[in-house]
Structure 1
Amino acid sequence: MALAALVPGALLGWVVYEAVGGGAGGGSDRTAAVATPAGTASPSASVGDDGKQPSAAPASASLKGKVVVIDPGHNQDNFQHTTEINRKVDIGTNKKECDTTGTSTNAGYTEARFTLDVAHRLRTLLQKQGATVKLTRDGDHPAWGPCVDQRARIGNEAHADAAISIHADGSAAGNRGFHVILPGSVHAGAADTRKIVGPSHDLGTRLAGTFLRDTGEPPSNYLGGGTGLVTRTDLGGLNLSTVPKVFIECGNMRDSKDAALLTSGAWRQKAAQGISEGIVSFLRRS
């Protein structure tokens, strides 16, 4: 993906400091951004590749009335529908392909499989907190896509309180780490992100902190200046959103160290936990 803008590197210190608990007791909004939400399962809980956790006391339904839309990137069958996914759609600033095939590890584990697995785990965690959760695709329908404009529309029509698009990158070996993509300010054509830039930044910053803490995955060493945060204005899924939304690239599938994590069911559960806690923190903000 082409880089539109980098978030100032000064944020790295806060993200790392708060994620490891350095801000405990400070009482600020920044400390709250990475505080473990009450009733959330411990990231160290034993899990299997099916994403199931041992039975535990029910979490409080503190997110009742909140709607979260999860967008698992790409689709396993996109490669069989090249004509459909290569069709250009309007993203406000210009036109881009409906969707892409996504990437994969060198061993053939696809990004589409990864994103759907994490999405299912994340849905379970958020539903335990009482949230209503909708997915843009759920593994059986449609056979390809949806297109990026449709993915944004699903979140908009659900009046989501938060939306997250889950991905994994396909950069060069040696490039590793996660990054959260924030929407830049866009006002062109059908796109107008001006009202969601602020809350999306809040969501993304919280998410970066909890993801780092729960997974141990470092911020990207090749994008974002070490902050784990990147701002872009060329993604239809963000440009066309009217609700707070971010993307997360959970790691680089082409790097052997990251690939070992991304293909682990236990690590994918930690990834879902980290994403969940960031969303919960955002939705519980005062």
Structure 2
Amino acid sequence: MSYTGPETEPPRRSPLRRPLTVALAALVPGALLGWGVYAAVGDEGTRADSAQASPAASGEHAPAGSASPDASPSPSPSGTPDASTAPSAHASPSASAPAATGPLKGKVVVIDPGHNPGNSRHTAEINRTVDIGTHRKECDTTGTSTNDGYAEAAFTLDVAHRLRALLEEQGVTVRLTHDGDRPFGPCVDERARIGNEAHADAALSIHADGSGSGNRGFHVILPGSVREGAADTRAIVAPSAELGERIAGNFVRVTGSAPANYLGGGTGLVTRTDLGGLNLSTVPKVFIECGNMRDATDASLLTSGSWRQKAAEGMSEGIVSFLRGS
């Protein structure tokens, strides 16, 4: 995600943010130690294909210190990710059937898969601007891709499906902002509106970054306090920070991935006030950049079906912890 340019601003530390190690204390005392072991021995289940994150989260991000690609290319045969552990697709394109049973029955979660595989074919439509409260911004962006051509939009949909299946096992009603069922978008303002109209108990926008090689790790983006135009995040800042910390802590524990080494001060948490998907949300919401698609090491994780399953599990356990309040 880019932090430079005419319509972005440098990330700021949230006054509510605690260091990730503090957030992890109650969740996983040995998480970072476990990551060290993981990094030393490697992930035998990952592929060598490279994978990276989107430079435009929900049409709102670009790689840190690098330009966003003009489009997210479709995966080439050599860049096709391992889908061996992908869950079967649901019949409904954007909303799951209400869960019959489970400890979290009655809870609603909105999952926002960043970008859309069709965005690159609809550049005029996604380049039109929409009001995000603080200013106007592009409807959406194409997202980034790995050097081997695995598109961020394909990555986010795959992880969203895995996450949906896990949450539904807990009885959660899950809604997706899209499921590859529309030619482009939705725009960033509509993505926020879907969560608002669902009265979601939590919302998560899934992405992967497109920063420079050598920049590794994940980070969770929290909403800053905004009150301007149509945007007023004051009521969701605190619960969103709690949601983000729980997701980050569980993501470390389950995937073994470390917080980003290029932003967030090693906490894995970044606060922003220039993203429409957060500015216009009235429900607790965060973004997660799962890794850097332009770094070969991170890309090998992002293109691995087994690692994507772990990523979904980490997100799910963070969301479930938030919903339970424990």
User: Which of the five TM-score ranges fits, normalised by the shorter chain?
Assistant: 0.7 to 0.9
1:1-286 aligned at under 5 Å gives the runs 1-2=2-3, 3-7=10-14, 11-15=19-23, 17-18=25-26, 20-22=28-30, 49-52=84-87, 61-139=102-180, 141-285=181-325
- Is contact 1:7–1:227 with CA below 8 Å preserved after alignment? no
- How many residues of Structure 1 are paired with residues of Structure 2 in the alignment? 257
Structure 1's 16 and 202: CA in aligned 2 closer, same or farther, altered over 3 A?
closer
- Is contact 1:68–1:163 with CA below 8 Å preserved after alignment? yes
Classify the secondary structure of the residue corresponding to 1:167.
strand
The residue identity in structure 2 corresponding to 1:134 is: R
Classify the secondary structure of the residue corresponding to 2:115.
coil
- Is contact 1:67–1:158 with CA below 8 Å preserved after alignment? yes
Matches of 1:282 and 1:79, distance apart in 2: 35
- Is contact 1:193–1:242 with CA below 8 Å preserved after alignment? yes
- Displacement of 1:4 in angstroms is 2.8
Classify the secondary structure of the residue corresponding to 2:22.
helix
Cα deviation 1:64-88 (Å, max 9, x = unaligned): 0000000000011101100000000
- Is contact 1:103–1:170 with CA below 8 Å preserved after alignment? yes
Matches of 2:228 and 2:137, distance apart in 1: 15
- Displacement of 1:14 in angstroms is 1.8
Matches of 1:282 and 1:19, distance apart in 2: 12
Cα deviation 1:240-265 (Å, max 9, x = unaligned): 00000000000000000000000000
Structure 1's 173 and 194: CA in aligned 2 closer, same or farther, altered over 3 A?
same
- Displacement of 1:142 in angstroms is 1.2
- Displacement of 1:184 in angstroms is 0.2
The residue identity in structure 2 corresponding to 1:21 is: P
Structure 1's 10 and 195: CA in aligned 2 closer, same or farther, altered over 3 A?
closer
- Displacement of 1:6 in angstroms is 2.5
The residue identity in structure 1 corresponding to 2:213 is: A
2:67 equivalent in structure 1: none
Matches of 1:17 and 1:198, distance apart in 2: 19
Matches of 1:174 and 1:19, distance apart in 2: 29
- Is contact 1:137–1:146 with CA below 8 Å preserved after alignment? yes
What is the RMSD computed on CA atoms of the aligned residues? Answer: 2.0
- Is contact 1:179–1:229 with CA below 8 Å preserved after alignment? yes
Matches of 2:23 and 2:267, distance apart in 1: 7
Cα deviation 1:147-167 (Å, max 9, x = unaligned): 000000000000000000000
- Is contact 2:240–2:286 with CA below 8 Å preserved after alignment? yes
- Is contact 1:18–1:209 with CA below 8 Å preserved after alignment? no
Classify the secondary structure of the residue corresponding to 1:122.
helix
Task: Note the residue ranges of structure 1 that are not aligned, 5 or more in a row.
Answer: 24-46, 54-58
Matches of 1:10 and 1:183, distance apart in 2: 15
The residue identity in structure 1 corresponding to 2:21 is: G
- Is contact 2:116–2:153 with CA below 8 Å preserved after alignment? yes
1:43 equivalent in structure 2: none
The residue identity in structure 2 corresponding to 1:196 is: I
Cα deviation 1:223-249 (Å, max 9, x = unaligned): 100000000000000000000000000
- Is contact 1:211–1:275 with CA below 8 Å preserved after alignment? yes
- Is contact 2:20–2:245 with CA below 8 Å preserved after alignment? no
- Is contact 1:177–1:217 with CA below 8 Å preserved after alignment? yes
1:27 equivalent in structure 2: none
The residue identity in structure 2 corresponding to 1:65 is: G
Matches of 1:22 and 1:265, distance apart in 2: 25
4+ residue runs of structure 1 moved beyond 2 angstroms? 6-10, 15-23, 47-53
Matches of 1:280 and 1:144, distance apart in 2: 30
